[in-house]
Amino acid sequence: MAFELGIYHFGELTPDPITQQPPAPGVRLRELVEQAKAADEAGLDVFAVGEHHRTDFAVSTPAVLLAAMAENTRSIALSSAVTVLSSDDPVRVFQQFATLDLLSGGRAEIIAGRGSYIESFPVFGYDLNDYAELFAQKLDLLLKLREENPISWQGSLRPALVNGDITPRPDRELPVWVAVGGTPASVVRAGRLGLPLSLAIIGGSYRQFAPFVELYRQAAAEAGHDPASLKVSINSPGFVAPTRQEAIEVSHPYFQAGWMANHHQRGQGVPMPRIAYEAQATAAGAFFLGSPQEVIDKIMAQYELFRHDRMMIQLGFGNVPQREALKAIELLGAEVAPVVRKEIDSLRLSGAEVSA
């Protein structure tokens, strides 16, 4: 499989640091459709949108927004990032993404997670005391929905299904990834199930996450899966511009505003002063922030460590102006993606020749 480079967004409605006004939800949603179209035209591989249920985010129904993107794109994969499966119904999730897959010609993906934001649990009537078990049971049901129809299934936290006829059926097996933020039990679960891993690295040193990828592959091997056949995606914030200085100057005010307004639970924003932001842009930091060559260098450094299959960049968190976001997408497609794919293809070929 060729190495993939993509973009993900949460559709945050952060007040502009200059005007202090948030974008209207409809404006933000249309901007994301335009960004997906630009990413498709630039030759990127994936565009993903996350799910939240708060007034400071525009996207609560990823499948609906992704369907609009499907009608404006041709080849890019369209994914959730993430679907909060614990507080959703797996039958409806399957139906929505099967419909998206059919409409898009086989380009839909589900990245399923437990949810680091917990506002959806009371909204949909779920008890946070069931946080872990809700995800385990609903992931089990979602995977069975892929495998059989009609389906019979029983759990303790959702009504049973008896010969349920679940439609529509996609023309292929719908890809389901497991989203993980660095919890050992979560990476072990993904490995044991033989599901691709989507690992979020949103701060600190990315090297501290190497043990999680190793644990994932070990768990997969112990469960009888071939670790080499399982995909790993690394997902981190970032922004690209012609120079590192420009990338930081354009994106930092918006990132800082977003980190305060939208990060984690309401009213608990996290400061991101410029010195800390610049530290994340260094070779050791987690963010993909800088010139095209600096982004290339960090992707390659991470590839040496993780041997992953996909890199997803949360581009311009906090509502970087649309014009700047579109320029960044063009740079990723024109200057970053071709170089990264070529270099990783060369490394893989060299590895295959050595092992042979």
Contacts of 75 (CB under 8 A, 6+ apart): 40, 107
Least confident of 16-30, 52-66, 124-138, 263-277: 263-277
Residue 148 has pLDDT above 60, yes or no: yes
Per-residue confidence band for 266, with pLDDT thresholds at 50, 70 and 90: low
The helix (run of H) or strand (run of E) holding residue 134 is helix 131-147
Gap between the Cα atoms of 57 and 72, Å rounded? 22
Torsion of CA 49, 336, 177, 30, to 10 degrees: 10
Per-residue confidence band for 118, with pLDDT thresholds at 50, 70 and 90: confident
Mean pLDDT of 211-222: 98
Residue 287 has pLDDT above 90, yes or no: yes
Per-residue confidence band for 353, with pLDDT thresholds at 50, 70 and 90: very low
pLDDT of residue 265: 64
- Top pLDDT among 64 and 355 is at 64
Question: pTM of whole model > 0.85?
Answer: yes
pLDDT averaged over every residue in the chain: 95
Least confident of 16-30, 254-268, 283-297: 254-268
Count: domains in the chain: 1
pLDDT of residue 354: 42
Nearest to 218 by CA among 235, 230, 202: 230
Per-residue confidence band for 356, with pLDDT thresholds at 50, 70 and 90: very low
Phi, psi (5° rounding) for residue 199? -105, 120
CA distance from start to end of the chain: 19
Mean pLDDT of 303-314: 98
Got the DSSP string for 65-122? HHHHHHTT-SS-EEEES-EEGGGS-HHHHHHHHHHHHHHHTS-EEEEEE--SS-THHH
Question: What are the structure tokens assigned to 274, written together?
Answer: 């410029």
pLDDT of residue 182: 81
Mean pLDDT of 310-321: 96
CATH number at residue 178: 3.20.20.30
pLDDT above 90 coverage of the chain, percent:
92
Gap between the Cα atoms of 306 and 140, Å rounded? 27
- Give me the domain span that covers residue 224: 4-355
